[in-house]
Amino acid sequence: MNPANYLYVSAMLFTIGAIGVVVRRNAIVVFMCIELMLNAANLAFVTFARINGNLDGQVMAFFTMVVAACEVVVGLAIIVTIYRSRRSASVDDASLLRR
């Protein structure tokens, strides 16, 4: 199969993720969309590694997975804390930095 198709899939996934981050209010959903974008990036890395015939992209994908795992830990902790204090998981409610 033409490796370019993987790139199309990656771009689609990234776009869906990006739109989800911008459009959705629920922090959990936004968080999942971010994960989707990260995975889209991972797919693109692996595809390029395949196209170029070296391992750099695949190594980078592993790094991304580690970072994503850490991010999930921190991010979910923040979301839970915000929910506890504000009784809401909506990202629009957490706008205190404005003032």
Partner 1 sequence: MTSNALVYLIALPLFGAAVLMLAGRRADRRGHILATVLSGGSFLLGLYEFSQMLSRSSENRAVTQKLFSWISVGSFKVDAGLMLDQLSISFVLLITGVGTLIHIYSIAYMSHDLDRRRFFAYLNLFVAAMLLLVLGDSYLNLYVGWEGVGLASYLLIGFWNQKPTYATAAKKAFVANRVGDLGLSLAIMVAFATLGTVSFSGVKENAGQASTAALTAIGILLLVAATGKSAQLPLQAWLGDAMAGPTPVSALIHAATMVTAGVYLITRSNFIFDAAPIAQLAVAIIGAITLLFGAIIGAAKDDIKKALAASTTSQIGYMVLGAGLGPAGYAFAIMHLLAHGFFKAGLFLGAGSVMHGMNNEVNMRRYGGLRKFMPITFATFGAGYLSILGVPPFAGFYSKDRIIEAAFNAGGVRGVLLGSAALLGAAITAFYMTRVVVMTFAGKARWEEEVHPHESPALMWLPMVLIAFGSTFSGFLFTRGDALRNWLAPVVEPVAAREQELLSPALVSILALLLVVVGAGLAVMKYLRQDVPVVAPEDVSIFTRVARRDLLQDDFNEAVFMRPGQHLTYALVDIDEVIIDGAVRGVGRMATGSAGALRTTQTGFVRSYAMWILLGAIGLIAAIWMVTL
Integer Cα distance of 63 and 47 in angstroms: 16
In the complex with partner 1, which residue's Cβ is closer, 58 or 71? 71
Residues 5-44 within binding reach of partner 1 (CB under 8 A): 18, 21-25, 30
The nearest distance, CB 30 to partner 1, in angstroms, is: 8
Query: How near is the Cβ of 58 to partner 1 at its closest, in Å?
Result: 23
Nearer to partner 1, 87 or 98 (CB): 98
Cα–Cα distance for residue pair 19/17, rounded to 1 Å? 5
What Å distances lie between residue 80 and 17, 70, 76, 97, CA to CA?
A: 22, 16, 6, 19
Q: Are 36 and 13 in contact (CB under 8 A)?
A: yes
Q: Which residues bind partner 1 (CB under 8 A)?
A: 18, 21-25, 30, 91-92, 94-99
